[in-house]
């Protein structure tokens, strides 16, 4: 064990006592042994500390902030983290037992890799899981910069799905961010992709809690918050990267926004089907704003036509039942060009 690098699992918590047992036990049950677990409690008012206290005997440390520090928590991480690698596990999410071991193997094999994403499924508040399509069609490693535009896409990875090299994390100064809590993961991937390379494990490595009844996704999409906040995050990142003197950023961010605009067509079709014409129009205006060439896109034209006629009968979408369908799209995307297919240890199988 002493020859393996230390991994710090930080569990930020605010009133999630209901899920804490599952979350902490998933960290304790990792097949990788050299792990420290630190709970960063943001002034919870429920019985979180009581739930957590039973794990103190197993080496878990509980740090309770006197008030919710939001993003400023990133500021004080350095006071706690001793590991070479870091994983931020949300208090309601769950890790699969092999994740840390496999991610460490990959990163130890290639010091240029700054972060590894594992695949995930959703779990609701009652513990019912929903299987998701894997995001990519193979396990691979790729240049960080090539990944940047892809990170604009919703749901590629949340914090519990990523093991991060702590030296890379320190380089990105995530405490100095303008992103909101819904986009800070995305900004994290953006920034990490500037300072390091990336690897992806196509196997299911985490369960992300996605309550069905109170799906935030629905709200942010249907109040038009999502495109505004994401555009804001992308431009804030661009500003940060330009300040740091990184090259080719405007072009990459432009590509990222275009990719996101294309993604918005899916939402727009749903709104048209549900006769939410004003909302559909806003999305179509947004798409045009970030990508003038989208006017030539067949799907875009179809949506415009349906909007003008106020008749979406010609538009095909998968049956729309629940909000989380926004995340149940077909995935299995190709990785970016120049990727390397890897095995469990991170060894190259094939170069593309």
Partner 1 sequence: MRDNSNVYILIIFDQYNGDDSFELLDRTIDSIHEQTLTEHKIRVLIADNASDAVVYKRLLKYEIESPRLISVIHEKKPVTKGRLLKGMERHLRYSDVSYSVIMEPGDVFYPEFLGKAMQLLNVHKGLEFAVFEADIRDDNNQESAIKQPPLFLHNCIFNKACRAEYYRRDIGHKVLIMHRKLPLLCSKKLPYYSVMAENGTEWFSVLIKDRDDFIYSISSMGCMADRKCSDPIDDLVKRAFLIKRSLYAVETGVFSNDNAKDIEIEEVKAAYRSLACHAMRLAYKQIKYGDYDKAGDCMLFAEMMDLSVVDDPVYGEIMDVICIGNISPSQAEHINELLSCRSAETPQAAREY
Interacting residues toward partner 1 by CB under 8 A: 67, 70-72, 173, 176-178, 180-181, 214, 219-220, 223-225, 228-229, 231-232, 235-236, 239-240, 243-244, 278, 281-282, 285-286, 288-289
HSE at residue 281, side-chain half, CA atoms within 13 A, is 8
> Is 216 buried (19+), middle (13-18) or exposed (0-12) by CB count in 10 A?
middle
Q: DSSP class of residue 335?
A: P
Least CB distance to partner 1 at residue 286 (A): 6
Closer by beta carbon to partner 1, 235 or else 301: 235
Half-sphere exposure of 102 (CA within 13 A, CB side): 24
In terms of CB distance, is 61 or 285 closer to partner 1?
A: 285
Distance of alpha carbon 286 from the chain centroid = 23
From residue 242, alpha-carbon distances to 58, 246, 269, 290 in Å are 45, 6, 36, 20
* Nearer Cβ to partner 1 (224/333): 224
> Cβ 254 to partner 1, closest distance in Å?
12
Task: Give least dist CB 130 to partner 1, A.
Answer: 22
Tokens of 4: 């393996």
Nearer to partner 1, 149 or 227 (CB): 227
Q: Tell me the closest approach of the beta carbon of residue 217 to partner 1, in angstroms.
A: 11
Q: 164: which strand partners? A: 86, 115
Q: How far is CA 262 from the centre of its chain?
A: 19
Of 166 and 240, CB closest to partner 1: 240
Q: How far apart are alpha carbons 238 and 223 in whole angstroms?
A: 25
Q: Cβ 229 to partner 1, closest distance in Å? A: 6
Instruction: Give the residue with the Cβ less far from partner 1, 143 or 282.
Output: 282
Smallest gap from Cβ 304 to partner 1, in A, equals 14
């Amino acid at each position: 064990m002493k020859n393996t690098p230390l991994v710090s699992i930080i569990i930020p918590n605010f009133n999630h006592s209901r899920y804490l047992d599952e979350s902490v036990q998933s960290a304790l049950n990792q097949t990788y042994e050299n792990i420290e677990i630190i709970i960063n409690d943001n002034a919870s008012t429920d019985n979180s500390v009581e739930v957590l206290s039973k794990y103190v005997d197993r080496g878990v440390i509980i740090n309770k902030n006197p008030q919710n520090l939001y993003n400023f928590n990133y500021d004080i991480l350095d006071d706690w983290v001793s590991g070479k690698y870091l994983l931020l596990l949300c208090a309601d999410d769950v890790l699969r037992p092999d994740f840390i071991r496999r991610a460490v193997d990959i990163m130890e094999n290639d010091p240029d890799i700054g972060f590894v994403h594992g695949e995930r499924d959703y779990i609701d508040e009652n513990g019912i899981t929903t299987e998701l399509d894997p995001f990519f069609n193979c396990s691979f490693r790729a240049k960080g910069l090539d990944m940047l535009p892809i990170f604009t896409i919703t749901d590629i990875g949340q914090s519990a799905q990523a093991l991060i090299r702590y030296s890379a994390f320190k380089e990105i100064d995530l405490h100095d961010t303008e992103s909101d809590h819904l986009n800070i993961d995305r900004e994290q991937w953006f920034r990490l992709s500037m300072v390091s390379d990336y690897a992806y494990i196509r196997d299911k490595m985490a369960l992300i809690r996605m309550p069905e009844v109170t799906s935030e996704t629905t709200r942010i999409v249907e109040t038009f918050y999502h495109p505004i906040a994401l555009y804001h995050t992308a431009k804030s990142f661009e500003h940060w990267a330009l300040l740091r003197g990184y090259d080719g950023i405007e072009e990459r961010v432009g590509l990222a926004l275009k990719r996101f605009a294309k993604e918005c067509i899916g939402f727009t079709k749903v709104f048209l089907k549900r006769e939410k014409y004003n909302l559909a129009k806003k999305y179509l205006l947004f798409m045009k704003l970030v990508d003038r060439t989208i006017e030539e896109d067949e799907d875009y034209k179809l949506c415009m036509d349906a909007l003008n006629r106020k008749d979406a009968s010609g538009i095909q979408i998968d049956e729309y039942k629940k909000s989380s369908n926004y995340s149940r799209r077909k995935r299995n995307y190709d990785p970016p060009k120049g990727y390397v297919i890897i095995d469990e240890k991170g060894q190259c199988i094939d170069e593309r």
